[in-house]
């Protein structure tokens, strides 16, 4: 029962955070939403479970269904999990698995030629999903709710909040899952080896990263480690931005003059950049931060090269334990909360969201089969299969009530588990309370709570409506901010920062139409706050 109590408290607390944040969240492609009561307000964790699924019903010969998923794993083209999913849904699964960075381009190419797969995910609910709906490329699922009751019940009221679902149509079904806020995950075994304490402020954090880089924290007599695993995403430094009161996850903020703008206009943005530059210039972080792929960055943690990472604690302290780590002794981690000037601290906010949902192509010839798959995946049994693998062959429960399990045989090796499809498809039409959440270990539960309790919500503005300027120029605005971030970190000296910042922000305001967007979202905020 403790797992259920934890999730019930967590979900209810997050719903309240969303309510009290009022306009707290993100605009555009990273939009977020209040959780629907039907699937989030403690109902799913404490319920008697999902309704019986239509999966596995004998409806004749198995029909082929093509699914497109994106991820950073490398499952075998045919594997045990897909075979089992097909068996449970009376289908033959043809999986198109593409790297996340290539997914949007591949999807657009397929849309242009009207060859979209039967089931596919769309992350940009504001523009892409709307464009597909307007072009008649997505199946209108209205009236078919009884064919996939678990899937539709899970999404609940979020369905009506999707901009593409107008006038009673249902083109896009959101997952309703809660986003994980970030933790600063730090190796406590390295801290112990160096007689250091968990850092609590920016000065102490610098000292820890310096020691992890220069003082042989793993005791092998070589200088082969560094402090922080990073990449080109600003959230690699989420706690540092948070120490200056900045929510760095593409969030919009309310400025002192009442204007709503991008987080990069926070008055302390360049101060945070200066601290990050110091870490980079002193060689305390990933040297290839600009180009390193996500999986290679993770590998620096798995292989004992990096001592810390800003990431969802679910990875370092739960999913990767112990199989992903290659050292003889599995590393131990703790979570740091870093205080900055004036006592500021926190991480970027995450709320129950309407992004990451699923569509069915209008061209599909097997709508009933698609709905059977979606409905089964949205049950506990379905998500258990996609997350853990085939029960009895790849894993077994040791205490299912409390989310405890063990992998079997060769599948204790995480790479082999994923090669046979374990985890790789776990975000295919998942329930709001996923297998992953039900199986958190105790430390991860504490970390998830810590991260959500530490979210920056004050002054963060969430806009669910489709703003014309965001629809027209959103990608241009985002590109300028991303280019500016890299240019600032690569500047010759701190004296150059203000000039670079002013140049890019001028481009953002004029060429990328940022000023027009500011006017529109500020008006929206004043009308809706």
Q: How confident is residue 126, by pLDDT bands cut at 50, 70 and 90?
A: confident
Choose one of 310, 343, 376: the last residue of a domain: 343
| Of 472, 500, 374, 443, the residue nearest 118 (C-alpha) | 374
Using the predicted structure, report yes or no on whether residue 477 has a pLDDT greater than 80. yes
What values do phi and psi take at 518, rounded to 5?
-55, -45
Under 8 Å between Cβ of 150 and 50: yes
> What is the rounded distance in angstroms from the CA atom of residue 529 to the CA atom of residue 518?
15
Under 8 Å between Cβ of 64 and 95: no
Q: How confident is residue 49, by pLDDT bands cut at 50, 70 and 90?
A: very low
Q: Is residue 459 in some structural domain? A: no
Q: Is residue 91 in some structural domain? A: yes
Structure tokens at 295: 């999986």
Instruction: Give the containing element (helix H, strand E) for 388.
Output: helix 380-388
pLDDT in tens, 464-474: 677 899 989 99
> What is the rounded distance in angstroms from the CA atom of residue 190 to the CA atom of residue 504?
40
> What is the rounded distance in angstroms from the CA atom of residue 177 to the CA atom of residue 351?
9
> What is the rounded distance in angstroms from the CA atom of residue 79 to the CA atom of residue 418?
9
The whole-number pLDDT of residue 269 equals 98
* 427 lies in the same domain as 295: no
Q: Which of 198-212, 238-252, 506-520 has the lowest mean pLDDT?
A: 238-252
* 9 lies in the same domain as 81: yes
Q: Is residue 71 in some structural domain? A: yes
Under 8 Å between Cβ of 90 and 56: yes
The whole-number pLDDT of residue 309 equals 98
Average pLDDT (143-158) is: 95
The whole-number pLDDT of residue 31 equals 31
Higher pLDDT, 523 or 21: 523
Cis peptide bond prior to 322, omega within 30° of 0: yes
Q: Which of 9-23, 144-158, 187-201, 378-392 has the lowest mean pLDDT?
A: 9-23
> What is the rounded distance in angstroms from the CA atom of residue 324 to the CA atom of residue 321?
6
The whole-number pLDDT of residue 353 equals 66
pLDDT in tens, 2-44: 444 444 434 443 333 333 333 333 333 333 333 333 322 222 3
* 14 lies in the same domain as 155: yes
Q: Is 99 helix (H, G, I), strand (E, B) or coil?
A: strand
Higher pLDDT, 342 or 56: 342
* 76 lies in the same domain as 215: no
Side-chain half-sphere CA neighbours of 271 within 13 A: 12
DSSP assignment of 481-518 equals: HHHHHHHHHT-SSGGGHHHHHHHHHHHHHTTT-HHHHH
Q: How confident is residue 124, by pLDDT bands cut at 50, 70 and 90?
A: confident
Q: Is residue 318 in some structural domain? A: yes
List of residues 6+ apart from 297 with CB closer than 8 A: 229, 230, 231, 286, 309
Average pLDDT (405-415) is: 95
* 269 lies in the same domain as 193: yes
Structure tokens at 114: 């009207």
Average pLDDT (159-178) is: 89
The whole-number pLDDT of residue 24 equals 33
| Of 183, 34, 85, the residue nearest 386 (C-alpha) | 85
State the chain's mean pLDDT as an integer: 88
Distances (CA, A) of 467 to 292, 522, 526: 34, 11, 14
* 210 lies in the same domain as 326: yes
Share of the chain above pLDDT 70, in %: 88
**CA angle at residue 282 from 277 to 284, to 5 degrees?**
90
Q: Is residue 226 in some structural domain? A: yes
The region, left, alpha or beta by phi > 0 then psi within -120 to 50, assigned to residue 457 is: alpha
* 49 lies in the same domain as 108: yes
* 233 lies in the same domain as 381: no
Structure tokens at 281: 């210039």
Distances (CA, A) of 482 to 80, 160, 475, 477: 40, 32, 10, 9
The whole-number pLDDT of residue 127 equals 80
Instruction: Give the containing element (helix H, strand E) for 415.
Output: helix 414-419
Choose one of 380, 410, 445: the last residue of a domain: 445
* 274 lies in the same domain as 382: no
The whole-number pLDDT of residue 229 equals 98
Using the predicted structure, report yes or no on whether residue 462 has a pLDDT greater than 70. yes
Q: Is residue 480 in some structural domain? A: yes
Structure tokens at 365: 């010839």
Using the predicted structure, report yes or no on whether residue 308 has a pLDDT greater than 80. yes
* 292 lies in the same domain as 206: yes
pLDDT in tens, 69-100: 999 899 999 999 999 999 999 999 999 999 98
Average pLDDT (229-238) is: 96
Choose one of 445, 478, 511: the last residue of a domain: 445
Beta strands in 31-156, from DSSP E residues, in sequence order: 63-71, 91-99, 119-122
Higher pLDDT, 162 or 309: 309
* 38 lies in the same domain as 19: yes
DSSP assignment of 139-199 equals: ---TT-GGGSHHHHHHHTTHHHHSTT--TT----B---PBPPPPEEEEEHHHHHHTT-PPP
The whole-number pLDDT of residue 432 equals 87
Structure tokens at 338: 């870093």
Q: Is residue 454 in some structural domain? A: no
Structure tokens at 465: 């409506």
> What is the rounded distance in angstroms from the CA atom of residue 313 to the CA atom of residue 319?
9
**Total number of domains in the chain:** 3
Q: How confident is residue 354, by pLDDT bands cut at 50, 70 and 90?
A: confident
The whole-number pLDDT of residue 365 equals 96
Residue carrying structure tokens 């992350």: 123
Q: How confident is residue 51, by pLDDT bands cut at 50, 70 and 90?
A: low
Q: How confident is residue 385, by pLDDT bands cut at 50, 70 and 90?
A: very high
The whole-number pLDDT of residue 251 equals 83
Select, from the ranges 163-172, 268-277, 319-328, the one with the highest average predicted confidence (pLDDT).
268-277
* 69 lies in the same domain as 153: yes
Specify the CATH number for the domain of residue 11. Answer: 3.40.190.10
Q: How confident is residue 54, by pLDDT bands cut at 50, 70 and 90?
A: low
Q: Which domain holds residue 257?
A: 183-343
Side-chain half-sphere CA neighbours of 50 within 13 A: 27
Q: Is residue 452 in some structural domain? A: no
Side-chain half-sphere CA neighbours of 291 within 13 A: 2
């Amino acid at each position: 029962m403790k797992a259920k109590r934890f999730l019930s408290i967590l979900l209810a607390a997050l719903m309240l955070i969303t309510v009290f944040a009022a306009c707290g969240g993100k605009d555009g492609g990273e939009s977020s939403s209040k959780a629907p009561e039907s699937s989030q307000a403690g109902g799913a964790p404490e319920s008697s479970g999902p309704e019986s699924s239509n999966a596995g019903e004998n409806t004749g010969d198995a029909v082929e269904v093509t699914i497109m998923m994106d991820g950073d794993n490398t499952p075998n083209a045919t594997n045990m999990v897909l075979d089992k999913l097909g068996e449970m849904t009376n289908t033959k699964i043809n999986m198109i698995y593409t790297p996340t960075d290539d997914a949007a381009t591949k999807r657009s190419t397929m849309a242009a030629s009207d060859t979209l797969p039967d089931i596919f995910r769309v992350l940009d609910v504001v523009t892409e999903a709307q464009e597909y709906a307007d072009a008649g490329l997505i199946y209108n699922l209205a009236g078919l709710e009884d064919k996939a009751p678990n899937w539709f019940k899970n999404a609940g009221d979020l369905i009506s909040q999707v901009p593409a679902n107008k006038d009673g149509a249902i083109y896009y079904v959101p997952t309703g899952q809660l986003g994980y806020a970030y933790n600063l995950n730090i190796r406590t075994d390295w801290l112990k080896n160096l007689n250091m304490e968990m850092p609590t402020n920016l000065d102490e954090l610098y000292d820890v990263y310096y020691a992890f880089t220069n003082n042989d924290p793993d005791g092998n007599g070589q200088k082969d480690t560094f402090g922080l695993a990073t990449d080109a995403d600003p959230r690699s430094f989420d706690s540092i931005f948070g120490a200056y009161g900045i929510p760095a996850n593409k969030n919009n903020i309310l400025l002192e003059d009442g204007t709503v703008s991008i987080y990069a206009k926070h008055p302390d943005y360049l101060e945070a950049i200066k601290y990050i530059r110091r870490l980079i210039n002193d060689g305390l972080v990933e040297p290839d931060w600009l180009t390193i792929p996500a999986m290679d960055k993770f590998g620096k943690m798995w292989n004992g090269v990096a001592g810390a990472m800003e990431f969802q604690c679910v990875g370092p302290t739960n999913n990767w334990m112990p199989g992903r780590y290659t050292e003889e002794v599995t590393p131990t981690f703790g979570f740091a909360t870093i205080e900055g000037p004036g006592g500021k601290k926190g991480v970027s906010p995450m709320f129950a969201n309407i992004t990451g949902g699923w569509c069915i192509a209008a061209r599909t010839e097997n709508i009933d089969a698609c709905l059977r798959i979606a409905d089964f995946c949205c049950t506990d049994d379905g998500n258990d299969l996609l997350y853990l693998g085939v029960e009895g062959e790849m894993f077994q429960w040791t205490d299912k009530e409390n989310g405890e399990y063990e992998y079997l045989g060769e599948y204790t090796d995480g790479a082999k588990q994923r090669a046979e499809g374990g985890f790789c498809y776990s975000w295919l039409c998942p329930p709001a309370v996923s297998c992953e959440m039900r199986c958190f270990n105790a430390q991860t539960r504490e970390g998830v709570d810590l991260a959500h309790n530490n979210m920056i919500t004050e002054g963060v503005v969430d806009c669910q409506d489709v703003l014309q300027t965001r629809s027209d120029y959103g990608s241009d605005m985002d590109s300028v901010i991303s280019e500016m971030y890299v240019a600032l970190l690569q500047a010759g000296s701190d004296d150059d920062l203000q000039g670079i910042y002013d140049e890019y922000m001028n481009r953002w305001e004029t060429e990328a139409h940022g000023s027009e967007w500011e006017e529109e979202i500020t008006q929206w905020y004043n009308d809706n706050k």
